[in-house]
Chains A and B, each alone.
Chain A
């Protein structure tokens, strides 16, 4: 007979108690694993949604004090700035080429932004198109004013950017395709919902009809209530030929974005400023950190409960076997072997629970995923996560087994043999 066979047989002496203990620990492991899978999936989904190639910072007209965020809708007061949509100070498009030449710049892309009031009540349902009035022509004192004052107004962003640079602005196509000519646009997910538009519909902007060829999301509320078209077309519509509201810059690999931003600012003192405020990814990461903190709190609670479950199970097992432990000592077993036996039982119990817990955890997450109870999140399976779950179980096995094993090993043989 092998010693390990004895350990395994001992675990199932009291099947009900062992199964309850296994279930208790397994649920803990499943909780930890499930949370890990969902949190990891959330992070992965976020990265996917926000794209990995988003711009590192935004260049806008004006000095640092007046800079906006990456979305850069608000402008500063740069000398010589042009009149612009929403009163922004615009940047001449030639600056993009200049910035692109600066060492360390990976990609630089111009973006023109404006706001429009799309009068939803004028939607022509028979043609499935929307009549709209544009209010965002150049010279407007602010981007939120427009025609149709006195009526209910819904302001939407209109973004002009080359389709090849959508990723720089965190724009991810979720349905359809990107625009390929000046008569096509893509529409933000929230705008599509509020305007009841979908791929294939048309929309009228500045009396011109555009076909919606895709829907997108950015994770940014303002931008998701918007419409994106080619930069040239929006420049033409707004009369801002060769002008952009902001320049998105992504640093080349190995270049520090902050240093690069400083270089650009120093090259264009009093003309351009940069903004490296929180990107969508960073904001989302902050949220993920909070979720991960909560996940750790649950893990700690699980460890505590799991440890208690193992301790209670093993102590009860040792108490029940007191007399037997006395016999084992009488036949020559050392305290070390008895300690090893109880610790072994505790560990094997925890390992079985780990396997059950992993199956339960993966099963529940898969069911949730298949049933789309949490939309848009794919469980993030990783070897590290499974090793963590296994590690937790081993930790529980050791912590939960120490006291009962020590107690058993220190039992006086004569007292143990007298135990009723």
Chain B
């Protein structure tokens, strides 16, 4: 890890990153420069279509840029190669919609990312269940997601994102589909994880009060950081 990072303190280094939408005309990202330190909690705000999710996907190596440079946890993401292993080890994604697999139990859903690792079956279950207990879901491990509330499902999704001990959590409007009370619970969990685990947290949100919880706020407008 960190074999190509330019700055030891920064876990994310982005310079003049450019990306166009599928139409080839409209700029999704139009020269983004961004540095995020290891363990930092950063919120990313901006209106719809401003490029928030595109930037998040690029940091998570789900999408690739056309120009510029992007180095995350020492990996040069401008290289043309498979970044599955990078995502497995370094990134934990939390989506607005939990995207849990409905026919698997809560515990099995959390174990899914570990199937790409060398962890033994028993250890997988143990680790998943311990994590779920810490998120007050210890009594739900054998249930299927359809039996859970929205907040519980999002907590399962958080557990899934954390299970491989990533260095960065990318949360794309994690409270967007929840009521405010449940949303606050989720935000508190994320903040607690950030503090305890010293994990870097990049959170995309529309809500100013959510953004205010972060160490640093970044606004994106028309593919540029303001």
Contacts and interface: CB of A to CB of B under 8 A. Distances in A.
B103 A333 contact: no
B21 to A, nearest CB: 11
Interface of A: 1-3, 6, 9-10, 12-13, 323-324, 326-335, 337, 413-414, 417
21 contacts: A1-B104, A1-B112, A6-B104, A10-B103, A12-B103, A323-B99, A330-B93, A331-B87, A331-B88, A331-B112, A331-B160, A331-B161, A332-B88, A332-B113, A333-B88, A335-B82, A337-B116, A413-B62, A414-B63, A417-B62, A417-B95
Nearest to B108: A1
Q: Which of B63, B84, B164 has the most CB of A within 10 A?
A: B84
Nearest to B113: A331
B23 interface: no
B164 A332 contact: yes
A328 B103 contact: no
Nearest to A328: B112
A1 B125 contact: yes
A334 B60 CA distance: 14
B185 interface: no
B95 A333 contact: no
User: Chain A interface secondary structure, helix, strand, loop or mixed?
Assistant: helix
B140 interface: no
User: Chain B interface secondary structure, helix, strand, loop or mixed?
Assistant: helix
Interface of B: 57, 60, 62-63, 82, 84-89, 91, 93, 95, 99, 101-104, 107-108, 111-113, 115-116, 121, 124-125, 160-161, 164
B116 A333 contact: yes
A337 B103 contact: no
Given A327-B95, A329-B84, A414 B125 contact: no
Contacts of A337: 115-116
Contacts of B102: 13
B95 A3 contact: no
A332 B82 CA distance: 10
A1 B105 CA distance: 10
Given A1-B107, A331-B112, A334-B82, 14 more contacts: A1-B121, A6-B112, A13-B102, A327-B93, A328-B112, A330-B91, A332-B87, A332-B164, A333-B115, A337-B115, A337-B116, A413-B57, A413-B63, A414-B62
Given A331-B160, A332-B164, A9 B112 contact: no
B116 A334 contact: yes
Nearest to A413: B62
Q: Which of A2, A335, A337, A414 has the most CB of B within 10 A?
A: A414
